[in-house]
Structures are given as C-alpha cells and as structure tokens.
Amino acid sequence: MHWIIDTDAGVDDAIAIAMPFVPDWPDHRILAITTVTGNVHVSKVNINVGAVLDVLKVDVPIHAGCDRPMIESHIHAEEFHGADGLGDAGLAKTERRPEQEHAALAIVRLARAHEGDLGLIALGPLTNIALACNLDPDLPECLARLVVMGCAWQARGNQTPAAEFNIAADPESARVVFDRFSNVVVLPWEVSLDQMMPFETFERICAGTSARAVFFAGMTRVVHVWKARFGFTGVPLPDPLAMAVALDERIIARELRARVRVDIGASIGRALSSLDYRHPRPNARVVVAVHADAAWRMIERAWTL
C-alpha cells in the first residue's frame, strides 16, 4: 500500500511520521508528506517535517500546502508544541526544501497514479484534502483509504468544549471531507485521553542513545509542561495512534459505524463532529478503543532504532 501523510507537525505528528520507517512494514511505502497550517504555520511545518526526515535518514518529497483555513483565520497550538512546533528544543532546522508542486495537487496526482492503492493519513486540519476534493471530485473514489486523526466522538473537545483541534482549526474543510468521503477511518481525540502512553514507556524511549531517541527526548520535553498543566497520567498521542491504525488495523479494539457531520455554525457547537449511528449511509468507522500496548511498541521501535 502507498501512502501520503498530511501533517501540521507538531510534536505528536513528528512522532507519528517516524512509525512507518522501520523494517517491519515492507508493504507500506510513504510516497509524499504534505503539509498544512495547523499547530504552527505551514512554513514551520515544512521545516519540522524536513528535520524529522533528516533524523530518520529517509528521502520523501515534502509538498507545502495551504497556509490558512478555508474561511476563518488560523488558530495555532504553540502553547502545546512550542513556538517552532517541535518543542523549542533547537531541532527545527533542515536543508530540505519543499517541492514546487502544491500539496493538494500532489494528492490529486498521486491518487490518480496509484488509483485504488493509495491511502492518505490526515494528522492535521483537513484544508489540503478539502481543496484536493474540489480539484478532483473523484478523489474519494480514487483513494483506497482515508485515515483521519480528528473529531471528538463524545464531544470532549480540546479546542472548544465540544470540538477537537484539527476540526476546529478548519471546520469548513472538515465538513467538505466528511460529506464527500464514504468510508473514513477516524481516530478521535478522546481515545488518546483514555489510552495514554505510560510515563514508564515514554521515559524509556527518552533514555535511548540513538540519534532518533535523542531527537525524541528533545522534542517531547513539552510533555512535562502538559503533565503539570493538565495533570495527565500519561502522554496523549493522538497522531501516533492514528498512524498505528493506518499501519495495522489489528490495533483497533472497538469501532463504531456512523455518519459524521461537522457543524459549521457560529454558536457553541461550531466544529462539533456529530455522529449519527442510525444513519442509513454511514461514512466513517470511528475507532473508540485500541490495543494500546501494541501501539506503544510500534512507537518505541520507531524511535529507538
């Protein structure tokens, strides 16, 4: 299976990006990484992705994408990911530059070239993917899979009381994507809250001596801020859990089928992801529990090689 990773990297995005780059997944090939404004501005995301690819020692084209949401002004998450998006640990530097081709055009081109054998893993706001849908209305049929880290299936939002960050950062694009695709695999925010990486596992990765482990320890220093601020009992890792699901669906412990629709109104429900379990045409498999130990093993392996 071929894949594109669409990301607003972001510390947990960076952790996720490494996961396919281990010898365990010969059947998965990452063709491109597309970037989008989200946690930080896309110009920073491009650098962060380049820095991660440097430490992984892999060559994958980076395609810069949308620098703003479809309609509203951007919101960032720098208080979680650092002003540079990689934990302000001095890691956000690279010689790599993005390709000329825009992310949305790359998505459309690769989806056509690998029709039926291309998956897309969306780890950020859905702006590039909505734009790609409008450029090529057949995109949903061309893609074999779309895995989205996003939504708050119990409306336990992390951006607003009801809305999850990736949806809240660009609700209109999320609305387009969920309206057009008929089989999205969704990893919602609450799963990463209910199933956090134990601090013991986290500290063990940080104690590693490989270049990957040293990078991991640097960018995740922000985890101590999260712990102090929110009293987390472990490390919430939404994007890596979505990546684990993409790489191996046996990670899924429980899923629900529903029609997901995103509220684009202007009131307290804005960006709420509504899940209609009784709808005759569900458009999503919503993962509500994972086999977390297997996911932690995937992350530890990827970052201690």
Q: Which residues bind ligand BDR (CB under 6 A)?
A: 10, 12-13, 39, 77, 80, 123-124, 149, 158, 164-166, 189, 238-239
Strand 252-262 relative to strand 273-276: parallel, antiparallel, unpaired?
Answer: antiparallel
10 is an interface residue for Ca ion by CB under 5 A: yes
Take residue 189 and report the two structure tokens written for it.
């925010």
- Assign 85 to helix, strand or coil: coil
Q: Which long-range contacts (CB under 8 A, 24 or more apart) does 108-113 make?
A: 108/132, 108/135, 108/136, 108/139, 110/2, 110/4, 110/31, 110/32, 111/136, 111/139, 111/142, 111/143, 112/136, 112/142
Q: Which does 118 bind (CB under 5 to 8 A by kind): ligand BDR, Ca ion, none?
A: none
CA of residue 175 relative to chain centroid, distance: 17
Task: Output the smallest distance, CB 236 to Ca ion, in A.
Answer: 12
> In terms of CB distance, is 51 or 105 closer to ligand BDR?
51
255: phi then psi, degrees, rounded to nearest 5 = -135, 155
Residue 201 contacts which entry, Ca ion, ligand BDR, none (Cβ below 5-8 A, type-dependent): none
Q: How near is the Cβ of 88 to ligand BDR at its closest, in Å?
A: 15
Output the smallest distance, CB 148 to ligand BDR, in A: 10
What backbone phi and psi angles, to 5 degrees, belong to 43? -65, -35
Question: Minimal distance in Å, beta carbon 279 to Ca ion?
Answer: 27
Dihedral sign (CA 216, 221, 222, 224):
positive
- Return the number of the residue (94 or 160) whose C-beta is nearest ligand BDR: 160
Q: Nearest CA to 47 among 89, 98, 82?
A: 98
Position 13 contacts Ca ion (CB under 5 A): yes
Give the pair of three-digit tokens for residue 38: 């989200």
Q: How far is the CB of 270 from Ca ion (least distance, A)?
A: 20
Chain position whose Cβ is nearest to ligand BDR: 165
158 vs 195, beta carbon nearer ligand BDR: 158
Candidates 11, 123, 213, 260; binder of Ca ion (CB under 5 A) is 123
Stretch that binds Ca ion, among 102-110, 124-132, 151-159, 269-277 (CB under 5 A): 124-132
